[in-house]
Amino acid sequence: MKKSKKLKDQIENDLLTIGPALHYNELSLEEQDKCKKIHKTIVALKLYTYDIQDDLPKESQQYLNEVISDLIEAYHLLFNDRYKTSKIMIRSSIDCLIKGIHCEWKINEEYTSRFTDNLKVVNKTLKEYYDSRSIPISFLDKLYDEIKKIFDDTSGYVHSKTNAELSQYQFINEIINPDHSPSIRIQHVNEMLEYIETILFYLVISNVRCILADCSLEKQNVIYSCMTKNRRKILELDIKEVLFP
């Protein structure tokens, strides 16, 4: 009987398959390393969304699946130097994330057109949940700032050229032929990696039982490997020891 591939190997083979679309072999070693991390984190998001979807309202499932599809688009656009469009997709993904969690937690307050107001309501709900279980909630204040920063940063980048006139050749050229310099690309690559790691952590925090009690060890290891040591400590020590002693 043929032995099934390990998840880690599947993720690596998947990257090899789509490598040409990302111009992977033309990237510097640093860019290739970051590309691998972005790829693995998107896969981790997909794995986690799949594992929790049976417990989610249908509308919430749709929003969270859109988070994944938006990030895949952003990932492809990023490594094709389409930075503005990539940022637009990241901004869309963070809005869908908060909409999905808002639906999932059945928050009574209406979802509005103001992202910051919606984020405040969702974060307040999560803080009440953790606080009621005697779990320190200071990490959620920091996480609120980090999620808001993603939306503010991407919005700022997308709208930074609103004063330019479309009739000017220079402006059109900036959109069609963006700067291909390595320093510009690595800046955007670093930002995307930071953004999606935060998105993954926020999704896990809003559905924490799965990572701590229901996830297979193999999936758990992949998801944890996409997080900072401090975020993993929050999950494994601060939260797990209280909810699942």
**pLDDT higher than threshold 50 for residue 78:** yes
Q: What is the tens place of the pLDDT at every residue in 170-179?
A: 556 666 777 6
Distance separating alpha carbons of residues 222 and 161, to the nearest angstrom: 39
Element (H, E) at 208: helix 208-209
Instruction: Give the model's pLDDT for residue 173.
Output: 67
Q: How confident is the model at residue 95 (pLDDT cuts 50, 70, 90)?
A: very high
Q: What is the pLDDT of residues 26-43, one digit of tens each?
A: 999 999 999 999 999 999
**Which residues, in sequence order, are CB contacts of 99 under 8 Å at separation 6+?**
63, 111, 118
How confident is the model over 51-56, as a mean pLDDT?
A: 92
Residue 130 has pLDDT above 90, yes or no: yes
- pLDDT confidence tier of residue 223, bands split at 50, 70 and 90: very high
CB 208 within 8 A of CB 243: yes
Q: What per-residue confidence (pLDDT) applies to 159? A: 77
Average pLDDT over the chain, rounded to an integer: 91
From residue 222, give the alpha-carbon distance in Å to each of 11, 87, 234, 244: 10, 25, 17, 21
pLDDT at residue 184 greater than cutoff 60: yes
The pair of structure tokens assigned to 118 is 């919606």
Q: Are 69 and 44 in contact (CB under 8 A)?
A: no
Residue 6 has what pLDDT?
A: 92
DSSP assignment of 112-168: -S-HHHHHHHHHHHHHHHHHTTT---HHHHHHHHHHHHHHHHHHHHHTTTTTS-TT-
